Amino acid sequence: AQSVTQLDSQVPVFEEAPVELRCNYSSSVSVYLFWYVQYPNQGLQLLLKYLSGSTLVKGINGFEAEFNKSQTSFHLRKPSVHISDTAEYFCAVSDDRGAQKLVFGQGTRLTINP
């Protein structure tokens, strides 16, 4: 069965600074990888996903993530953050064996300081 580990529970950064949110996964088969964002008092929204092809995936709001199969990682990055990026970010993985569900990581709370 697949699993996901988000290495940081909280990440504080200053506005306009770069940020990286780390995600590692484990699976015995090929995987599909996702990043979701949850703004305060809202449901989750999809930021980006990796299904196949280019290992660098671009998403909404200037975020991107890189799939690294050898390191089993899918880290999320943004070169310059804004106050509006304050949210909780979830990495998720699904395998290709028809399992009808995603497995979510524990979440990383990103706090942007002015």
Partner 1 sequence: NAGVTQTPKFRVLKTGQSMTLLCAQDMNHEYMYWYRQDPGMGLRLIHYSVGEGTTAKGEVPDGYNVSRLKKQNFLLGLESAAPSQTSVYFCASSLRQYNEKLFFGSGTQLSVL
- Interface residues with partner 1 (CB under 8 A) are 4, 6, 9, 32, 36, 41-46, 49, 51, 90, 94, 96, 99-102, 104-107
Residues 74, 47: contact at Cβ < 8 Å? no
User: Closest separation between CB of residue 114 and partner 1, Å?
Assistant: 26
Q: For the chain, how far is it from start to end, CA to CA, in angstroms? A: 41
Least distance from C-beta 54 to partner 1, angstroms?
Answer: 16
Residue placing its CB nearer to partner 1 in the complex, 93 or 112: 93
What does the radius of gyration of the chain's CA atoms come to, in whole angstroms?
Answer: 14
Phi then psi for 83, rounded to 5 degrees? -50, -35
Nearer to partner 1, 15 or 61 (CB): 61
Q: How far is the CB of 81 from partner 1 (least distance, A)?
A: 22
CB of 83 to partner 1, least distance (A): 22
Q: Which is nearer to partner 1, 9 or 113 (CB)?
A: 9
4, 80, 87 from 93: Cα distances, Å = 7, 26, 20
Closest Cα partner for 91 from 17, 15, 26? 26
